[in-house]
Amino acid sequence: MGRIQAVIFDLDGLMIDSEPLQLRAINRALAPAGVALSEADWMRLVGQKSIEIIRQLKDRYRFDGDLAEIEAAKLDAYRQIIQEKDALKLMPGVWDAVRACQSLQLKLALASSSVQADIAVILNKFGLDSTFAAVVSGDQVAIGKPNPAIFLETARRLAVEPQNCLVLEDSPGGVAAANAAGMFSVAIPNRLAAQQDFSAANVVLSDLFEFTRNLPRLVL
């Protein structure tokens, strides 16, 4: 691994405490099909594009309905939920991590399986609009995580070689995508992901505060 020049953040579950809200949205969209996912069900699917999640669920539960229509219902539900007062919150330590990266003159990027429109709303909501030199969404790549496409595209936009990128992820699929891209993977499991296997990550940390404390040694 070369010296780290860029840090790529995931969004859902890493920067924002959104997985419970995503679960509410997918269950609202799946309700007509009589399908209701538990937290454990959902956490086995996180990190992927929503259309790919819905395709897997349709294969598993054999329900009727058009994939694109179900995805649209899920996205609409999520947009309604995140507009609810105090529904969406930043994960602890986000701003500390951002400022620590900036102080070391690292390039910052966001690579999220969420769609571009939702990402824009969320970044605006928290005043993060101008934080990232590149933002790549799930609907801008053909194949989602754990495929490395989204991270490779992010590195291309940053004009940084993949081996000089550090990725912050909260899902095993995201870690797998970072590793496949040849990047340095740092897992920060959230409350819902804590029981999953993160042994493939280069480093596993408890939260963004621990990342901030360890950043100087991680980027050398």
Q: Give the amino acid at 137.
A: S
pTM for the whole structure: 0.90
Each of the 220 residues of the chain gets a pLDDT tens digit; together they read: 569 999 999 999 999 999 999 999 999 999 999 999 999 999 889 888 999 999 999 999 999 999 999 999 999 999 999 989 899 999 999 999 999 999 999 999 999 999 999 999 999 999 999 999 999 999 999 999 999 999 999 999 999 999 999 999 999 999 999 999 999 999 999 988 888 999 999 999 999 999 999 999 999 8
Distance of CA 140 to the CA centre of its chain: 14
Q: Which of 189, 169, 197, 52 is nearest to 111 (CA)?
A: 169
Task: Find the radius of gyration of the CA atoms of the chain.
Answer: 17
Which of 10, 17, 118, 170 is labelled catalytic? 10
Sign, CA dihedral 118-122-79-168, equals: positive
Tokens (6 digits) for 129? 């609009």
Whether 17 sits among the annotated catalytic residues: the reply is no
**Cβ atoms within 10 A of the Cβ of 198, count?**
20
The domains found in the chain, sorted by start residue, are 6-17+89-218 (3.40.50.1000), 19-82 (1.10.150)
Q: Is the Cβ–Cβ distance between 4 and 182 less than 8 Å?
A: no
Q: How far apart are CA 208 and CA 11, in angstroms?
A: 13
Q: What b/e sequence results for 101-119 when a residue is b if at least 16 CB atoms lie within 10 Å of its CB, and e otherwise?
A: beeeebbbbbbbbbbeebb
Whether 12 sits among the annotated catalytic residues: the reply is yes
Q: How far apart are CA 122 and CA 183, in angstroms?
A: 26
